[in-house]
Amino acid sequence: MTTETITADAAGTWNLGDMTVNRLGFGAMRLTGSAAFHLGRPRDRETSIRVVRRAVELGVDHIDTAAFYFSALRSANELLNRALAPYPEDLVIATKVGPGRDPSGKWLPWATPGQLRGQVEENLRQLGRDHLDLVNLRVNGPDSIAEHLGVLAELREAGLIRHLGVSNVSVAQFDEARAVAPVVCVQNRYGLGARSPWSDALIRQCGELGVAFVPFYAIAGEGAEAGAAAAAPTAAEETVGDVARAHGATAAQVRLAWTLHQGPHVLAIPGTGDPGHLAENVAAAALRLTPEDLARLEEAHAPAA
């Protein structure tokens, strides 16, 4: 499919609280290097800056980032600041707190409630902003998240945060979060070959409540993490390829289109540091899968019970 004239608004819009965004957004993690948290050779700085600016030119108005997205010499937040400040008024930048890394890149213990303000302030400093549009609490394990979310709710009341979301949560944790403060989005792993019956149920619940569902790793292959080496194609992967060829599209575009077909409240935040891949990802906003396509993909990638 052609990519030259397609912009992110082709996917339609959804509201993150009082902020309206195009459903096709951008993930900043890969701006820093070829792998998620690689500390070897960094990606070319000017290319990354060019990709971010081009994303906004193509209608992307929702960018996902985090202070712990950095590699050797490169910080995703700093790249966004350099590329886009002063920020467009309609641009929504979402970030995450909970995980942390020291300057060498080593992962730190998950943040305690008392450490969350420091993480919020670090994102503010790196991005050069006086408030954060959206902060997702990234959850680690099945424990209660009420105390952590309560701290973020206080920062929201103080004006440092505009809206709150949760990430990597169970249905029970989502319900717990909503009892503490308004939640405008859920950010969980979800995609073809990376879903379960309970995650399907969580998507339905989000839709009923008007809460955005924002999957990550939506275009990774079965069993793959971002940056992992590609395995030999399975029968399910071959089905994706068949659908892609029928539309003159790429497998990644089919995966993104499938994601967007899961409901009007489902957003996509594919990430890349490559200008060509950026255009392809944005063009997926206009790819309309047929009922037959969706049935084939569902049959090949049905979640395990």
Instruction: Point out the least confidently predicted range of 52-66, 141-155, 184-198, 272-286.
Output: 184-198
Residues above pLDDT 90, as percent of the chain: 79
- Could you tell me the pTM of the whole model? 0.93
- CA neighbor of 45 nearest in space, from 203, 267, 273, 244: 273
Taking residues 156-178, what's their average pLDDT?
98
pLDDT at residue 2 greater than cutoff 80: no
Does residue 299 lie in a domain region? no
Does residue 196 lie in a domain region? yes
Instruction: Point out the least confidently predicted range of 119-128, 137-146, 188-197, 262-271.
Output: 188-197
Catalytic residue of the set 69, 87, 190, 217? 69
Does residue 300 lie in a domain region? no
The dihedrals phi and psi of 72, each to the nearest 5 degrees, come to -60, 115
Q: Angle, nearest 10°, between helix axes 116-127 and 76-84?
A: 40
Q: Which domain holds residue 98?
A: 12-232+260-287
Residue 201 sits in a domain whose CATH number is 3.20.20.100
240-285 pLDDT, tens per residue? 999 999 999 999 999 999 999 999 999 999 999 999 999 999 999 9
Does residue 197 lie in a domain region? yes
Helix (H) or strand (E) holding 136: strand 132-138
Burial of 41: CB neighbours in 10 Å, binned 0-12, 13-18, 19+: exposed
pLDDT at site 231 = 56
Does residue 170 lie in a domain region? yes
Residue 109 identity? P
Total structural domains in the chain? 1
- Say whether 69 is catalytic: yes
Does residue 246 lie in a domain region? no
Torsion angle defined by CA atoms of residues 287, 252, 249 and 44, in that order, rounded to the nearest 10 degrees: 110
Does residue 3 lie in a domain region? no
116-134 pLDDT, tens per residue? 999 999 999 999 999 999 9
Does residue 253 lie in a domain region? no
